[in-house]
Amino acid sequence: MAPDPTPARPSRQRPRRPARSDRARMLLSCPDRPGIVAAVSQFLFAHGANIIRSDQHTTDPAGGTFFMRVEFDLEGFAARRETLSQAFSPVAAHLEMDWRLSGSEPVRRVAIFASREGHCLLELLWRWQAGELPCHITMVVANHDELRPVAEAWGVPFHLIPVRAGAKHEAEKAQLQLLGGGQTDLIVLARYMQILSPEFVTRYHGRIINIHHSFLPAFVGPQPYHQAFERGVKIIGATAHYVTAELDGGPIIEQDVQRVTHRDNPDDMRRGGRQIERAVLARAVRWHLEDRILLHGGRTVVFD
């Protein structure tokens, strides 16, 4: 397998902000019934919105759950958002919807947690600088100091918070102070090799994305490539998922695979796996930031 490519030297230029401040999205789920698409479309038309894209999915046409994502342009959306939400509430109540409106402003604030390995962190920073991730990366939080030069080279504040045996609570308390309560919209675990407490996970429910270096639910835990080698697998992969209290058991967002042979040892698999991990995590983060994901119990509906 080819080694990881050397990342390009980062630019000091700040990431581009979203180009369209009037672009907005509506995501919804509700019991399936006739007229849902018509009700949403007519509402948006009546308020002067121009629908750019509409995607739908139903779990079962006969009494299942209906999911919808609508992307639209509406002049002055940021100023009209609250009024629009109030106007749509009766429609949503009538159709028993779980729904939300979002726009490109304000830009979402993302914190990245890491440990020693930097391939996933570098991928996120590069895509952020290139304008592919519509967010502001506010900080890198790590339990080891190896990645400090990486974060600082990209102009991102780096915070070292060691996680010592028996002192996880103190470490998480310091992390929560940095995150600032409601000041962080998404946490990305970019190979952060620590288990978060149920209390921490509950506070950021649906807003923590992890990358696991195996094809879940197979080979959970810290050494999946050794497990895969022992089983003689012919495909390795990576899984991005939302974090829940169940270890590596949260709703899956994205996965990808790569073929291996009997000639590949665990180190070969690990090198190939890094390429998959960085791409899978970046896609999952982008889809979350673009409101393409709806949670449905222990599963996700991901609109492309």
Beta strands in 192-264 (DSSP E): 208-212, 235-242, 252-259
Could you say which of 32, 185, 248, 264 is catalytic?
248
Q: Which residue's structure tokens are 């609250």? A: 82
Question: What CA–CA distance (Å, rounded) separates 209 from 85?
Answer: 28
Angle at 7 between CA 5 and CA 9, to 5 degrees: 150
Buried b (16+ CB within 10 A) or exposed e, 181-217: eeebbbbbbbbbeeebeeebbebbeebbbbbbbbbbe
Beta strands in 10-97 (DSSP E): 23-31, 50-58, 65-73
What's the whole-number mean pLDDT along residues 28-46?
Answer: 97
304 is catalytic: no
Does 141 have pLDDT greater than 50? yes
Integer distance in angstroms from the first to the last C-alpha of the chain?
30
**Percent helix, strand and coil across the chain, each to the nearest 5:** 35, 30, 40
Does 92 have pLDDT greater than 90? yes
Structure confidence at residue 271 (pLDDT): 80
Q: What is the mean pLDDT of the chain?
A: 89
Does 5 have pLDDT greater than 50? no
Question: What CA–CA distance (Å, rounded) separates 225 from 301?
Answer: 28
What's the whole-number mean pLDDT along residues 25-45?
Answer: 97
* Domains of the chain with bracketed CATH: 23-103 (3.30.70.260), 108-302 (3.40.50.170)
Q: Which residue's structure tokens are 């996880």? A: 168
**297, 67 in Cβ contact below 8 A?**
no
The pTM assigned to this predicted structure is: 0.87
Band (pLDDT 50/70/90 cuts) for residue 62 is confident
